[in-house]
Amino acid sequence: MKIRCILSIILIGGISSSFAQVINKQTISSDNQTPLVGCASHELLLRLDDLNPGTLKKSNDYLKEVNADFQLAHSRATNEVYRIPVVFHVLYNNATENIPDSVFIQQMEILNNAYRRQNTDTVNMRPDFIDVVGDSKIEFYLATTDPNGGVTNGIIHKQTQVTNFGGVLPYGASQQAQIQQWVNDSLFYNYFSLTKDSLGGDDAWDTARYLNVWVGDLTILEPQFNNVEELVFFGLSTPPIAHANWPAATMQQFAGLGDGTLMHYKAIGPNNPAPFVGTYSGYNGIANTGKMLVHEVGHYLGLRHIWGDGACAEDDYVSDTPRANAASQYNCIKSTNSCVDTINGVDLPNMVENYMDYSAGNCQNSFTNGQAAVMRATIENFRDSVIVNSVQDTDFANEDMKLFPNPTSDNVRLEFREVLDKCTIQVLGLTGVVMNEIHLTHVKSTQVILPAVSGVYFIRVSSHSKMMTFKVVKR
């Protein structure tokens, strides 16, 4: 057990520059029966920074800028609810790993309640934090249309020959340097194999249109320790920063790095038929109640861990989250105030109720307004296309645009009442297949080219959260 904990610490903290320091602290948790696992999103960000220096600074600078806007009440946040379509790719090697649709449907409820702060356990929030928590006004729904325009329920089940996507750690005790090298070179590549057909995973659906969540066995096997205990990350997400500009070598390093979230199949929930048991029950619900995906989507939308992945001096760059000197160890201790900070004039205690901590799942119930501002800014700055393409049920008014002539013998023209700063125009066939798609900015009018063949077509105009669909007859 002692060796197991050492290894766990190495894998969680060892990728960062404090690797040697972590080794020196290896005895700290030797008697702790709770394995030190968590999510690997921050480790991925650090590794990306190794490969593409400047990534972390760019990410930090972006968060500082958003936070400054938020503090000055110049946040771009509006009352508009952003709706993000989700597709789950379930990669299973055996029947146990093939988590049923019902679990994902319940997971979506947890996700939506969390991001709208409509979960019933918000009543447990301490009064200290009532002024800083809020509704992120972000919602998620299972995709109803696949990239080809076909009907889908947003959940793909696919069998794989890969038994565990964490791979095999071929090193043991006193081989720390090799272990770190293996993590750097192999672990993330192994994990992102989930995102590639050719590597036993499933190719992403257009990451500019969907939040892709891959679900599979993230276990890392350790034959050097007789696989004494599963070593696993619950999940990880790609950061929104600079993704499109990562050099090809970086992309290759991570099997193409499908943008989105990777989840261990046991951490999807609630009511997962194959939940964490035994030692992992020490996680007090974070991995069994659907809150791990809430946490991971927070990373996908730009959030850092609330303790800033370091001591008190390290920040998550969100002004209304109190600082902490470490992650909560899957507990719900409300008396801890590990760092001095001043939020609204108060030195708030550690916020174990926050989804971006590693506190007990049954303790987590909120995001802060500052975190909501980061996530909304991330959508607006980096993931806007997901929203533009996701609109479903909010329509333009009839007077907002007109299309003519209809019927037509050639093409048609669209005129808008006001200039649209950005919009997407799709031409769809009768079956819903997208036949043509154009993206325009600052548009007041435009020609829409129809297929040469006569027939009935649909033209779908979407801009931010609004949509209008026309039925056009071409003779």
Give the CB-nearest residue to Zn ion.
Answer: 39
Q: How many residues of this chain interact with Zn ion, rule: CB under 5 A?
A: 2
Q: Which is nearer to Zn ion, 86 or 292 (CB)?
A: 292
Name the minimum Å distance from CB 298 to Zn ion: 8
Query: What is the CB neighbour count within 10 angstroms for residue 384?
Result: 15
Q: What is the signed CA dihedral for 277, 332, 63, 338, rounded to 10 degrees?
A: -130
Taking the least distance from each CB to Zn ion, the nearer of 234 and 416 is 234
Of residues 299 and 460, the one with the C-beta less far from Zn ion: 299
- Of the candidate spans 40-48, 115-123, 172-180, 252-260, the one that interacts with Zn ion by CB under 5 A turns out to be 40-48
Nearer to Zn ion, 82 or 300 (CB): 300
Listed in sequence order, the residues at least 6 apart from 434 whose beta carbon sits closer than 8 Å to its beta carbon are 148, 149, 426, 427, 428
In whole angstroms, the minimum distance from the beta carbon of 305 to Zn ion comes to: 5
Specify whether the CB–CB gap between 357 and 305 falls below 8 A.
Answer: yes
> Residue 97 contacts by C-beta under 8 Å, 6 or more apart in sequence?
90, 91, 216, 217, 265, 274
Cβ pair 243, 256 in contact under 8 A: no
Stretch that binds Zn ion, among 32-40, 62-70, 137-145, 331-339 (CB under 5 A): 32-40
Separation of first and last alpha carbons in the chain:
75
Q: Shortest distance, CB of residue 383 to Zn ion, whole angstroms?
A: 18
Residue from 7, 39, 143, 268 touching Zn ion (CB under 5 A): that is 39
- Using the rule CB under 5 A, is 354 a contact of Zn ion? no
Token pair in block for residue 72: 């000055």
Residue number with CB closer to Zn ion (39 or 425): 39
Distances (CA, A) of 142 to 115, 300, 471: 15, 17, 26
Kindly tell me which of 34 and 163 has the beta carbon lying closer to Zn ion. 34
Does position 41 bind Zn ion by CB under 5 A? yes
Cβ proximity to Zn ion: between 365 and 390 the closer is 365
Q: Rounded to the nearest whole angstrom, what is the least distance from the CB of residue 39 to Zn ion in the complex?
A: 3
The verdict on 184 binding Zn ion (CB under 5 A) reads no
Q: Note whether 114 and 107 are within 8 A (CB).
A: no
Tokens of 449: 């080219």
Three-point CA angle 411, 415, 421, nearest 5°: 115
Is residue 231 a contact residue for Zn ion (CB under 5 A)?
Answer: no
* Minimum distance, C-beta of residue 42 to Zn ion, in the bound complex (Å): 6
Positions that interact with Zn ion (CB under 5 A): 39, 41
